[in-house]
Homo-oligomer: A and B are copies of this chain.
């Protein structure tokens, strides 16, 4: 596991949409915009599934994920491994958090992502460089 630095956490501030990539067992990538995410602690992110279909089935087959975002403050790519929570305290906490933002949303799965790597994505000679 790696720990997110303040620079990486700051770059996420105010980012409404991140892009989550998953991959089926057969090797077909999938990538979707999503908004319900947060940093749980420096090694862990929470992603909340309200509408996922292929992303969810891919994570059931293959727990490796990658996400990225790009804003005026830049962006990074964060990779990790997920566990899926549907009927436990993690899921209950996710439901409370999401409904606190928008009561009409109905989370189906709480996705806990343990961070394994962080990469630079800013165009230029450092693009793709492993930061963490």
Contact = CB atoms under 8 A, between A and B. Distances in A.
B64 A33 contact: no
A29 B33 contact: no
Contacts of A21: 19, 21, 23, 29-31, 66
Count this chain's copies in the assembly.
2
A28 interface: yes
Interface string A28-53: 11111101000000000000001111
A54 interface: yes
Interface residues of A, number: 39
Given A19-B68, A51-B123, 5 more contacts: A21-B29, A23-B29, A29-B31, A31-B67, A33-B68
